[in-house]
Amino acid sequence: MLDITFYLHNKEEAEAIEISDDFYHWLAQSEFSKIGQPQTQEITVDGETALISAIQLEGMNRRKFSDFFRNAIVQESDELLGSLDNSSSKQDYQDATYRLRILQNLRKCIENEEYKYFQRR
């Protein structure tokens, strides 16, 4: 599992969203990987200072990421509705909705203006 970590304005870690390797590779091959340029930021994690490569969520960066996730959610929802039927098991449903749940979590964090930076790792 990999994660995408969001940081507050004071550069303290606020939230990390775990994603599968497959989902990460899908993101890496999508427009997601082309939005924003990472810059070295000094952050605080558990009281310790560290240098990370993070993308600032300001102006057009936030808007482009938000648009990316909203479009991906629409596409994923359409595919999901076409693939599920009434006989699907709970596990089938959970497996099928994994990407949709992660996309929603990422969108909510991107749109949360308290988060000023995020790191793809």
Residue with more model confidence, 111 or 121:
111
Map residue 105 onto helix, strand or coil. helix
The mean predicted confidence, pLDDT, of the chain is 88
In this prediction, residue 12 has a pLDDT band, given cuts at 50, 70 and 90, of: confident
**Residue 6, Cβ neighbours under 10 Å: how many?**
22
Maximum CA extent, the chain? 51
Using left for φ > 0, alpha for ψ between -120 and 50, and beta otherwise, residue 107 falls in alpha
**Residue 7, Cβ neighbours under 10 Å: how many?**
24
Question: 61 is written with which tokens?
Answer: 């960066």
22 pLDDT higher than 80: yes
C-alpha closest to that of 54 among 20, 19, 11: 11
Query: Mind listing the pLDDT tens digit for each residue in 23-47?
Result: 999 999 999 999 999 999 888 777 8
Give the model's pLDDT for residue 85: 67
Q: What is the dihedral of CA 103, 51, 48, 112, to 10 degrees?
A: -30
pTM for this entry: 0.82
Domain boundaries, the chain: 2-120
